[in-house]
Structure 1
């Protein structure tokens, strides 16, 4: 049995550890973005470089086996392990790289613990076509990690939310065997989900697949990373809560501190660290607490409280009305904190329905509305009857629980998906007058980082014009004009070396030459996210 003094000391130490983990998270930013590379994507070189250099806009971590350089025949030409020089990944190449086209594939971990992957191509004495737009290498472990995160949410709801709801609303059932076993099962699920997270993060970051789950190198990378430290602290917190539960020593203050610590570790590994973490992490903790109390309370209601309605109808009605007030308070908190968290992750509004993250978020909102409709129906039953029909309330509550579990599953998928604000950047086409002709400018993506730009010239009748030359420069407020080199591409021109390192309104200034005596200038602008 844990003594009162020892429990207080343990709770204080664990809370201090969580606080220390939270402090470095405050300046964390969104997913890292590749802002430049040497060689540039799609470039042709007369001589192979000694190394490939990839520069990102923020600090990153480099997991094991994170980069490869392959020829078009599949032969590797990278020599030794890649290394980090500040924000730049340096991939050394073999001494004699033969003529050919090469693909550089990379995986890095950004400050928010999410994996950023992509690829680029260059040619040695050969033309190389750029990799247009971001290319996600993906991982077969993504669904498994999402499932583990979703299971962690469910475990937190049962292991933290259920006993909290019982203690606050229904103290008479708090120490019943059914409630204790429910909490213990939730803590077991949370512990197993955390262990799965520990095993999956390393091989997912390095692209090792299922074969890397038990590889010591990948596990070592995870354990020594900030995310690994958070997961280890969560295991300690869950173990302490399990000890209190098995000892049947409620100690509500200590259990409350440990429960908040568990929810904080969950928030630290989500999108709450994308941006203003000092605001978003507390909002995420409150959001998780409301979710855990609502779902955990519903399960306790079904398993331990509703059976009492049959024995004492009048007392049961009072219990149900008290639960309704708490449930609707949880809903209000979920809506407010959800808005606080969603606002910086869905920018602009178009990203809500044009990105995978936005579609998942809409699905989550749809499920929440459905659950609220069911909750409102149950509330009408309680309010309109002296003795509410127990069977109908049980069915409604069970469906509510199923809806909330579905919401947790979607939330798990959201946790492993890049936010809408981090992936939104659709292709744009701009048409601008150039003397009596027109220039059609196509940009493959409007995200920060490298972009492919195509330019075609048309006469007044819409017929293609063959330009003798094309020169360009890109600029935005606070950034000096960057030269853009164009190469002929069929009837038009193409540039694969353009870099857009920061968000803002960018302007491309073009100098065209139709003949030796006719030249015009034009400029087009577009937003970069």
Structure 2
């Protein structure tokens, strides 16, 4: 028992570590992407603008303080009261009239349709171009570390609570009704119910500080909670809480009296479906294209994963408290139900992966796609352990069916059937030693499921690959005696990384004394922006400071200096989408 507890603690620690990416991911890692600004980032204006307008890839929620425009002294020059623009995907704020010449930085923080905050900044100039440092300004996207951590933990806890509650109820109602009266089953359902309720309340309270980038002190700000209750995220959480509260007396009655009648079972099923839909509709599933299909497939995914997770949790109780005859009657039926759940998980997961990833290249070239691969890897681990458990059930109970009736009649004389330390009892049923091995397998499967849920919590907080992926640019050109190869990724509006490789005529890397890039967009008369390149190794220069504020065909001019006398330039064109 002590060894099992140590294993559980270690693997739960692994699960907690696995959600670190989701907990620690900056709130800007969300679904909406900035697609344009007016005025443009880096623009040199002859006259001051009347307003600043931002355009995003999807609808956003705008608060009064979502956009701030500052001069170089740090003084605000906007009129406040930011609001939505002509489209639901736009945000805007009016500026003071008669702004003097100089550099201005506009910083913004809005909430995307999938309930995550996105933020950033850009600079423009009046009477001339903005200062070089201001043109590359980036808004703070980290928010409060404490709020982000607690919000991630609450999301992870909610997944576990809902999964165990829904799956455990289904297992007990369909496969093991007698287990409803078991004290351990009651404690399991009560704990899962309490965890689901607490997690929902914490998320409801933290959403305001989380989206506004405020600390825990903002919990006392009623306006933040009021804004949450007035948006879709808050509506779905309230629906989940109401369904959980309505289910509480039904679960309590089932624990006292055993299996409820058909009407109450239908009521529990409807409430469970409402909880599953509320979980599926929050986040990426409720934003973007084909929302109906996405929510439906995610609901199936949530229910199927709950069947698997909650069933495993109840099996731990079944193996410790039930008679040999009960175990023999329940496990084969559970094995068949679990196969159906696995099929539903795989099919719904494929639908969602197609919607969120979109291409095979995006699987390996985006953080979202790679994290999905990790999730698939752990799911395969669960399937492997489940296959071994199914094989164990068929081997131990397939040959013992003829003995089950006799075992049931003799149950009073045999006790619970757990006292025999032998692997196989005299009636052909597995003994305590064999069941102990099965319990260890179930515990391992539960630990893997916890890791999968942790990775799921991480994915919810990341930009889907379909939105973030842009094929990297690969190009080559000649610069004097050198061949220059360039890689830029991603080719999307926003920050980009550039790698430049200089190859001498001999085919070996060319040593560089200095390198820099200049980026311009001739069609919009934008730029050039100078970007110094760091010398990483012989023949290799790179930078993560490249910025493309608009889509279009960008001109990249490279200057490569070999020594005090020899410097060569070359130009390439790549497209930003």
TM-score normalized by structure 2? 0.71
Query: Partners in 1 of 2:465 and 2:242 — Cα distance?
Result: 34
State whether structure 2 residue 277 is matched by structure 1 residue 264.
Answer: yes
**Counterpart pick for 1:294 among 278, 285, 308:** 308
Distance 1:122 1:496, change over 3 A: farther
Give 1:21's aligned residue: none
Give 2:266's aligned residue: 253
Query: Partners in 1 of 2:365 and 2:487 — Cα distance?
Result: 19
**Counterpart pick for 1:91 among 82, 90, 93:** 93
State whether structure 2 residue 457 is matched by structure 1 residue 406.
Answer: no
Listed as ranges, the gaps of 5+ residues in structure 2 are 1-29, 255-259, 397-427, 513-517, 534-544, 558-570
State whether structure 2 residue 429 is matched by structure 1 residue 387.
Answer: yes
Distance 1:188 1:291, change over 3 A: same
The Cα of 1:96 is off from its aligned counterpart by 5.7
Give 1:348's aligned residue: 359
User: May I ask how many residue pairs the two structures share in their alignment?
Assistant: 469
Give 1:181's aligned residue: 187
Give 1:4's aligned residue: none
Query: Partners in 2 of 1:396 and 1:267 — Cα distance?
Result: 29
Q: 8 Å contact 2:472–2:490 — kept in the other structure?
A: yes
Q: 8 Å contact 2:357–2:465 — kept in the other structure?
A: yes
Give 2:160's aligned residue: 154
Query: Partners in 2 of 1:446 and 1:136 — Cα distance?
Result: 23
**Counterpart pick for 2:377 among 357, 366, 387:** 366
**Counterpart pick for 1:332 among 320, 334, 343:** 343
TM-score normalized by structure 1? 0.77
Looking at CA atoms only, which structure, 1 or 2, has the larger radius of gyration?
2
Query: Partners in 2 of 1:488 and 1:411 — Cα distance?
Result: 39
State whether structure 2 residue 101 is matched by structure 1 residue 56.
Answer: no
Query: Partners in 2 of 1:428 and 1:135 — Cα distance?
Result: 26
Q: 8 Å contact 2:63–2:82 — kept in the other structure?
A: no
Distance 1:394 1:452, change over 3 A: closer
Q: Secondary structure at the match of 1:120?
A: strand
Q: 8 Å contact 1:154–1:405 — kept in the other structure?
A: yes
What are the superposed Cα offsets for residues 114-173 of structure 1, whole Å, 9 maximum, x if unpaired?
322222122344434576698671333333222212211111122221011111111221
Give 2:43's aligned residue: 43
Query: Partners in 1 of 2:95 and 2:67 — Cα distance?
Result: 11
Q: Secondary structure at the match of 1:159?
A: helix
What are the superposed Cα offsets for residues 86-114 of structure 1, whole Å, 9 maximum, x if unpaired?
23322233446555433322122222333
CA RMSD of superposed structures (Å): 3.9
Give 2:528's aligned residue: 487
Give 1:137's aligned residue: 141
Q: 8 Å contact 2:118–2:141 — kept in the other structure?
A: no
Q: 8 Å contact 2:304–2:341 — kept in the other structure?
A: yes
**Counterpart pick for 1:281 among 276, 285, 295:** 295
Distance 1:117 1:403, change over 3 A: same
What are the superposed Cα offsets for residues 187-217 of structure 1, whole Å, 9 maximum, x if unpaired?
2111111111111112222212322233111
Distance 1:360 1:142, change over 3 A: farther
Query: Partners in 1 of 2:529 and 2:231 — Cα distance?
Result: 46
Listed as ranges, the gaps of 5+ residues in structure 1 are 1-29, 464-468, 474-481, 501-505, 512-521
